[in-house]
Amino acid sequence: MKLPYIKHSSPDGEYDPLRYLQRDVEALIKVIDARPVELPKSCFDQSVDVQADKNSLLKFFYERNVIEVSEVGFYMGNKLIYSEILKHYLKEDYARFHQKTLGLKSFLLSNEVVARETGKIIKSEEEISKCLDQVFPHGFVAKPAFDLASITTGAIVFSKEDFLQRLLHTEKLFAANEILGPSIVSHAVVGENSVTGGEKYILQEKFAWSTAAGEKNNEFRVHALYNKLVPDATWSRWRERKYNRPDLVKKVNQFVQELLDLLPLELTLHNVWAFDVMVDADEELSLMEANTNYGNRGPWSGFLRVPSVMGAYVRFLENDYGFSFKGFNGELLREDLSGVRKYIKLMIKENYDDLKAGDSLDHVAECFESLGELAEKFLLKSPSDIAEYQSSISCCTEYLNHYSRSKTKAVEEMIELMYAWMSSR
């Protein structure tokens, strides 16, 4: 696919990672500052008649220009560029929302870890360790600048020891020839590309990832449209569920809305956002990253598969922008019942995959119970005489029957039974 790179002059002389990044950021700022501060008419008072599923709704959003596909979404999907844009517009407020973030190649060159001419590492492990401690006295994480699902693929490096091992003995983080020009990366949405900003990996000041007991801290996925947070669309990232601390969810939502209020309308309008916010044991908050549509006509958050998240966007558009979602499909969307059959099957498969991967299963009972509640709600709502809903009605009915027989069994056995049923449909 053709990628929406912003045209600008290349830095003079030999490639320098920091100057290359600055050129990309400066070019993006010019594009942002030239954008209108008013939404087009297509963002108001739309009458909508679409199927009650994610793909149909996304198609409508993009075809009617409710959400734009642009170079801004493409560039802002890069964690390093996003950090630099926040730094530019937030100024002294930057540190309140975001951690110190550097490109890996910039770090390596500025601390003379590699030779500029060859990219060869010229410092010892001990010397590199000292450099890291000086730049990040409270620790750091290394993560891809432009990637999806980094934590599930093992691409994020949490410890200094692991980082040094990968840097010194593999080319996963850095290859010597990358010092000669912008890195090439592969992205799940846009494919192989010369990465915006030029850096494949970033180093980011560590924000408490786990408690003293080794448990993961809370991380929330917060959804927004334009310059406003979408109510009722904030979920726990680790357990794909709403969180049972409404006071904490409110605090997280306020944090994101404060950020949006500080950013210029030229940036926030026209775009759609999914923010990841970490909360430590003292309930301090930090923005980990912002997800966009990457300049592509696709989802900006994996949580759009959750019926209640799609429902939250629909209600938000109706309440704030005068949209009207018509007919029975509109009712399903509005009442968090879109794509129920696909969602039930997907969650069973994901729990089964977690079982086979040896992941924690402490949330499974809660997940299957919530799926049962969703199935019951759908059956109460859906008319049995409309052909297009028969498959979903059948799925929900069968789910409840199989779940009632398996929920008293051990979690592992319950997952196996539910997966066997789903696979046989």
Which pLDDT score, from 0 to 100, does residue 242 have?
54
Q: Look up residue 404 and give its two tokens.
A: 């009632």
Q: What is the pTM of this model?
A: 0.91
DSSP 187: E
Distance CA 101, CA 54 (A): 34
Q: Which residue has the tokens 């990465």?
A: 195
What tokens were used for 295?
């300049």
Report strand pairing: 47-48 vs 324-325. parallel
Q: Looking at 263-389, list the stretches that DSSP marks H as alpha helix, in order from N- to C-terminal side.
A: 265-268, 307-321, 327-334, 340-357, 364-381
Strands 285-291 and 272-279: antiparallel
The answer to whether the CB of 131 falls within 8 A of the CB of 113 is yes
**Beta strand residue intervals within 82-236, DSSP E:** 101-103, 140-144, 184-187, 191-194, 201-205, 218-225, 228-229, 235-236
| Distance, CA of 145 to CA of 361 (rounded, Å) | 30
- Please state, in angstroms and rounded to a whole number, the distance separating the CA atoms of residues 175 and 353: 33
DSSP readout, 54-96? Answer: HHHHHHHHHHTTSS---HHHHHHTSHHHHHHHHHHHHGGGHHH
Calculated CA dihedral for residues 245, 248, 253, 257, nearest 10 degrees: 160
CA distances 114 to 50, 128, 162, 181, Å, are 55, 10, 19, 14
Residue 293 identity: N
Among residues 139, 160, 136, 143, which one has the least CA distance to residue 78? 143
What is the model's pLDDT at position 150? 56
* Alpha-carbon dihedral sign for residues 56, 59, 65, 71: positive
Please tell me the distance from the alpha carbon of residue 392 to that of residue 383, in angstroms, as a whole number. 11
How far apart CA 169 and CA 163 sit, in angstroms, is: 10
Which stretches in the chain have pLDDT values below 70?
1-3, 8-12, 148-153, 190, 208-216, 238-244
Chain centre distance of CA 376? 30
Q: End-to-end alpha-carbon separation of the chain, Å?
A: 36
Q: Name the residue among 234, 307, 301 with its Cα closest to residue 53.
A: 307
Distance of alpha carbon 329 from alpha carbon 338, whole angstroms: 8
**Which of 195, 203, 283, 298 is closest to 245 using CA atoms?**
283
Q: What is the pLDDT of residue 210?
A: 47
DSSP-assigned letter for residue 295: T
Burial label, 323 (beta-carbon count in 10 A; 0-12, 13-18, 19+): buried
